[in-house]
Structure 1
Amino acid sequence: MAQQNKTVWWALGLPLLAVLIWSMNITVTRYVADYISPVSISFYRWLIAFLVLTPFMLAKVWRERQLVMQHWKQLAVLGAFGMVLYQGLGYTAAHYTTATNMGIINAFIPVFTIFVSMLMLKEIPNRFAVVGSILSFAGLLYVMAQGNPLNLIQSGGHLGDVMMVLAVFFYAFYGVFLKKWQLQIPLMISLYVQIVFALLYHLPFVLWLGLDAIDQHNVGSVVYAGIFPSLIAPLVWMMAVQMIGPNRTSIFMNLMPVCTAIIANLWLAEAWTIYHSMGGVVILLGILLAQKKVATVETVKLNA
């Protein structure tokens, strides 16, 4: 029994590690915005991931080519939403907002997923999920307005915040597509093929806008983005889902705003203000309420 408990506690470190890597990547994204264009870092990121995975995955993908061909359209859509629209908008948003705000907005993925599921899967959220989502959205608007609603009315909010909201919305579609299709494809093969599609989607933008050179100012950020958030974090996250379950794993996503704010404060000297605290608490309470009730509904379905 002691060994089992030890294993469980060790497994709880997996989603925490993934969240730390993703939080660090948000800060890296903000830092490198002054040294490389969004198209360039996004393309380089997936190119590095592709080059790292190819020696291990190419033969496996070839053996499973018939399975891949059966689902290539779905994989193409997943690559577009999860790796191009979400990541591309995130890199662009970094030019106009702070890493702290990006981390806070990124925590909205579970809430947006509820409403995308309602649109696509016809899953009607109960009143607690709706109240939690409204509460979280009110907190988000408060942060975007920097504590003064008049700022939001007068300026329409920061462009970067709006773009990050749109990015998170696209990623919510990515999660719902995964749930809707439930592709019977090995996870690493699915990831590899999605990366291939992401590179293909980037080609028109690369040809039109060109690529910035990799130099001493951006090379560390590019390599980090291509390995840690692209490969290591998804891998340990999938391991966590298998070991402690999807519901307990997803709760760790709520730590991302806090982790991002701490890293951004230490590295970029970004201030954590009173409106971040007040809005963050409201957002977190709403997200916990929405997730708790949704998790309960899913548990009932599984037990039925």
Structure 2
Amino acid sequence: MTQQNKTVWWALALPLLAVLIWSMNVAVTRYVVDYISPVSISFYRWFVAFLILTPFMLAKVWRERQLVLQHWKQLAVLGAFGMVLYQGLGYSAAHYTTATNMGIINAFIPVFTIFVAMFMLKDIPNRFAVVGSLLSFLGLIYVMAQGDLLSLIQSGGHLGDAMMVLAVFFYAFYSVFLKKWKLQIPLLISLYVQIFFALLYHLPFVLWLGLDAIDQQNVGSVLYAGIFPSLIAPLVWMLAVQMIGPNRTSIFMNLMPVFTAIIANIWLAEAWTVYHSIGGVIILLGILLAQKKDVPVKVAKLNV
């Protein structure tokens, strides 16, 4: 095997590691609901990440302050959608649904992104994207209904799943904003400033609701959330994008429901049911179909 091939195979482990970290964080989010409030863990998560980054990033941000000031409004919006609305709703949803369901709904991000991009960027999806998105949506409804669509209609839905769907919808906006603006800012500086804005957005909630104390029962979850999914996973993911490309990297996100379900089953004793299997397969097939590109039809010219 050549050195180049070795490098490629090694690079494929990067998105796997990132998805594993994010999947673990879904289980951590569900585990810690009895020990800390959603506002508290959300604030502590970004505060820990901010403290870790500050010694390395503060001087760099100051040197690039003109660039940051030029794009501060966009960075403020990104911090709101990607770190407060998405993550905050995720922590709240964990009080009302399972980690397994959260992992499955998270896999819906690519589909939502297609439709948000259609309205914001006038990026018209192809036929595969439309059919795949509808198929995935049906699978999502089946999971939310726990295999009983009539029950879902009669009950009006499940609060936790609905909150998670809304969170994923906000993250789709985050992804489209990134694509629309294409900010020419170093990634770590962008991440650091977004975290700064996320902390600012948390302050009214913290002042109104207060913060739970960090103790032996929740300190591990807070540190994990502040270090691994907030810092390590994004950096590993960005490195994977650079090494193997965005399209090949994004495919690995489809493993998140599987990883989350396995972790939740082993650690939280959550059951993987028949409706999870059926709905999960439908969602996965829809996502894969939505990523398929149209093949241009070549029209043969007739010599007359």
Question: TM above 0.5, one fold?
Answer: yes
Aligned positions of 1:103-252 closer than 5 A = 103-252=103-252
Aligned length: 296
User: Hey, what's the Cα distance between the residues in 1 that align with 2:233 and 2:29?
Assistant: 16
CA deviation vs aligned residue, 1:75-109 (integer Å, no higher than 9, x gap)? 00000000000000000000000000000000001
The one-letter code sitting in structure 1 at the alignment partner of 2:98 is T
**TM-fit CA distance, 1:128:** 1.1
Q: Deviations over 1:247-270 (max 9, x none)?
A: 000000000000000000000000
Superposed CA RMSD: 1.0
Aligned to 2:288: 288
Answer with 1 or 2: which has the greater Rg: 2
Counterpart of 1:292 in 2: which secondary structure?
coil
Query: Which runs of structure 2 are paired with 1:90-105 in the superposition (5 Å)?
Result: 90-105=90-105
User: What TM-score do the two structures reach when normalised by structure 2?
Assistant: 0.96
Map of 1:26-65 to 2, 5 A cutoff?
26-65=26-65
For normalisation by structure 1, the TM-score amounts to 0.96
Q: Distance in 1 between matches of 2:248 and 2:28?
A: 27
Deviation at 1:17, TM superposition (A): 0.1
1:262 alignment counterpart: 262
Tell me the amino acid that sits aligned with residue 216 of structure 1. Q
How far off its partner does 1:126 sit?
1.2
Match of 1:124, SS?
coil
For residues 158 and 218 of structure 1, what CA distance do their matches in structure 2 show?
27
Q: Which amino acid aligns with 2:128?
A: F
**Mind listing any 5+ residue stretches in structure 2 that lack a counterpart?**
297-304
Q: Aligned partners of 1:158, 1:99: CA distance in 2, in Å?
A: 14
AA partner of residue 291 (structure 1): Q
The match for 2:81 is 81
Deviation of 1:60 (Å): 0.2
CA distance in 1, matches of 2:127, 2:116: 16
Match of 1:301 in 2: none
CA contact (8 A) 2:261 2:272 kept: yes
How many angstroms does 1:127 deviate by?
1.3
Separation in 1 of the partners of 2:182 and 2:235? 18
SS in 2 for 1:293: coil
Mapped partners of 2:293, 2:229: distance in 1: 29
Unaligned 5+ segments in structure 1 are 298-304
Is 1:4–2:43 an aligned residue pair? no
Q: Percent identity?
A: 88
Post-superposition Cα deviations, 1:25-69, rounded to whole Å, max 9, x if no partner, equal 000000001110000000000000000000000000000000000
**Residue 113 of structure 2 contacts residue 176 of structure 2 at CA under 8 Å; is this kept in 1?**
yes
CA distance in 1, matches of 2:242, 2:68: 23
SS where residue 291 of structure 2 aligns? helix
Counterparts of 1:176 and 1:185, CA distance in 2: 17
Q: Which residue of 1 aligns with 2:69?
A: 69
Q: Aligned with 2:191: secondary structure? A: helix
Q: Report Cα offsets for 1:211-248 as digits up to 9, x if no partner.
A: 00001110000000000000000000000000000000
